[in-house]
Amino acid sequence: MKLAVLGTGIVGQTLSGKLAELGHEVTLGTRDVGKVFANKATDQYGRAPFSAWHDHHQEIHVATFSDAAASAEIIVNATNGMASMNALEHAGHANMKNKILLDVSNPLDFSHGMPPSLWVSNTNSLGEQIQRAFPDTKVVKSLNTVNAGLMVSPSLVPGDHNLFLSGNDASSKQKVRELLVSFGWKDKNIIDLGDITTARGTEQLLPLWVRLMGTLQHPYFNFHIVVGNPPKG
């Protein structure tokens, strides 16, 4: 299958690497191909520049947002949430028409430092904003409640733990579910919350997620929904 992963950061790198490992044809989308390869500096966390990562992933194509989206059957939005709408506009409405967009981004605002706040919440979500802006695209929200490594290697956290799906189109959610299972997620642990408005709930988990990471001092944890029996009478 042909997939486009928009965003060359750690999330985009991790997802595209896993997809390529599974045998998919992957194109990484970026705003400026020349600029992303020209950058030779490590990031704020000491990670190597994109060009060094790509040296070990030559099978993954790199193109503009527009060209990446045009060539794909499924598109993954792995851009920074603050920049997602702009990145998707560059990808182009025509290039995303009638395609599945797996949105893994979150509306985190780091402009006032840590911990970040949400710049959209309560009665709206980034997932909904994307769906309204691209009505002919089948937006599915998932993977936004775990860190990049756990997205593609759920066994990094032992036992059962959950992922969530939000989206208006049932068949698109099923295709995303199948992709998640190929990553190693157990089908029984993927919970379909309903339409795209339910993305409000998963995006609003992020303030708790950030604080848990601060307390635990690492991001390798997840939520497990334990379902009991309602009391009788």
Q: Are 69 and 29 in contact (CB under 8 A)?
A: yes
102-117 residue pLDDT tens: 999 999 998 888 889 9
Nearest of 219, 157, 163, 211 to residue 10 by alpha carbon:
219
47-72 residue pLDDT tens: 888 999 999 999 999 999 999 999 99
Instruction: Calculate Rg over the CA atoms of the chain.
Output: 17
Confidence of residue 232 (pLDDT cuts 50, 70, 90): confident
Rounded mean pLDDT of 32-52? 87
Q: Which residues pair with 138 in a beta bridge?
A: 100
pLDDT of residue 40: 84
**Superfamily of the domain at 2-216:** NAD(P)-binding Rossmann-like Domain (3.40.50.720)
Q: How do strand 100-103 and strand 108-109 relate by DSSP bridges?
A: unpaired
Confidence of residue 227 (pLDDT cuts 50, 70, 90): very high
DSSP 156: G
Delimit the domains of the chain by residue range: 2-216
Rounded mean pLDDT of 11-24? 98
